[in-house]
Amino acid sequence: MKKKGPTSKVYQLKISLNGIRPEIWRRVLVAGATSLHSLHDVIQSEMGWQDCHLHVFRVGDVEYSDPDMEVDGARNEFSARLFRIAPDKGDAFLYDYDFGDGWSHTVEVEAISEQDSRFSGRPVCIDGRGDCPPEDCGGVPGYMRILKAGGKRTRQ
């Protein structure tokens, strides 16, 4: 019987939008071999963003981004794999989106398993709370002004 390596493991991630109360978060299952670029796509989809702005992953002192975005000093997110940058349960890193609005997300590894009946090989959202703020609303302060004025939280 062939032993399964870290690339075949299933990661349960909690993605939390920082600075917002009540908290906005998603819990997703992805493969350990998922590239940061693919994780970017998952976050965009599950948080309700429209992928209209620059982004960067911050893992300790190292940044990763799409090389076409020309983020100074960032490594290539296409070659960075989840099982390498966050090998253990409890590991966490940041995903920053829209440098103007300054949306920062914490991505935490909640669990790593050999298999999960909810995971069929494609990313899947298994839980979450809160609707995504609208694009270009002015970040946390702008979003809070919208909510204070009686604006409705809507998932885009």
pLDDT given for residue 1 in this prediction: 44
Rounded to an integer, the average pLDDT of 147-152 is: 77
Span 31-87, pLDDT tens digits: 999 999 999 999 999 999 999 999 999 999 999 999 998 889 999 999 999 999 999
CATH topology of domain 8-148: 3.10.290
Burial of 116 (0-12, 13-18, 19+ CB in 10 A): middle
Q: How far is 2 from 18, CA to CA, in rounded Å? A: 41
Domain extents in the chain = 8-148
Strand (E) or helix (H) holding 146: helix 139-148
